[in-house]
Amino acid sequence: MSTIVLLLVTGLGLGALYFLVAAGLSLIWGLMRVLNFAHGAFFTVAAYAGFFAATALPASPWLQWFVGLLAGILAGGVFAVLTEIILIRPLYRRPVGQVLVTVGLALATLALVEGAFGSDPRQVTLPDWMNATTTLLGAAIPNTRFVVLLLAGLVLAGLLFFLQRTRYGLIVRAGVENRSMVSALGIDVERAFTLVFAIGGMAAGLAGVLGATYYGTIDPSRGTTMLISAFIVVVIGGLGSITGSALAAAIVGLLQQFLNFYAAAGVGDFAVVILLAGVLLLRPGGLLGGPAT
């Protein structure tokens, strides 16, 4: 029983990381129709920004972690905004150009990070409580899993509130449906779209810092790995659906944890690919496909 509880919480924690990356992808695609292959670069840059901001501060581990968290979120958001303004905005009507430029940015960012900081993992310093465990139904659960789950839940609630209850959320949704009409009303749609990119980048930045918290290390290639998993999550959940991404992320994380443990290493990853193929064949729109749901 304790093993099942441990795998359940750990799988949900891993799914929470997938969701934070997938949420930005889903938001940007569902509302702006931009397939952003540089999203993993936001994750990587934020992870390193958070790491160096924390280590540069001579303070308590809790304050260091919190400063690193804020630095990672800020770095992800700023990187995303610069990407949208400089690279994506001139290519809104050229999807092939978007793919090429974001793939190029992802590769360039990975090379720059490896060149500047090396490819070896770096150990992160966490508060003592995060290095400890909490006993739940006989299972010793690392406290970092609870941190990741809590913050991912807050992000999910915040995104849904933004899209469905705020003025800018309504402007973004309307701009996707009929951009020319919204512009004719005197509303700056480009500013709203830049805000969407910023929110997606901040979510990826949060994931970068929480990924370091979850694994205990950072390395340049983890953003690429997370991006692949996030794309799978977005497709399974439904392009443009935030709640669909959350559901799919939980399913993917649990499948990987349980099957990799009870079957063999790699079986869970293979099962996720089979699930992806099944969804594409039987329900191409995903589990909950649809914009801003």
SS3 content of the chain, % helix, strand, coil (to 5): 75, 5, 20
Tell me if 254 sits within 8 A of 4, measured CB to CB.
Answer: no
The whole-chain average pLDDT of the chain stands at: 86
| Structure tokens that stand for 251 in this block | 């399913």
Tens of pLDDT along 241-261? 888 889 999 999 999 999 888
Q: Taking the CA atoms of 22, 103, 99 and 174 in sequence, report the sign of the dihedral they define.
A: positive
Round to whole Å and give the CA distance between 65 and 70: 9
Structure tokens, 211: 């990924």
By the 10 Å C-beta count (0-12 exposed, 13-18 middle, 19+ buried), 241 is classed as: buried
Q: What's the pLDDT tens digit per position in 65-110?
A: 999 999 999 999 999 999 999 988 888 778 888 889 999 999 999 9
User: What is the distance between the alpha carbons of residues 147 and 141, in angstroms, rounded to a whole number?
Assistant: 11
Q: What is the pTM of this model?
A: 0.89
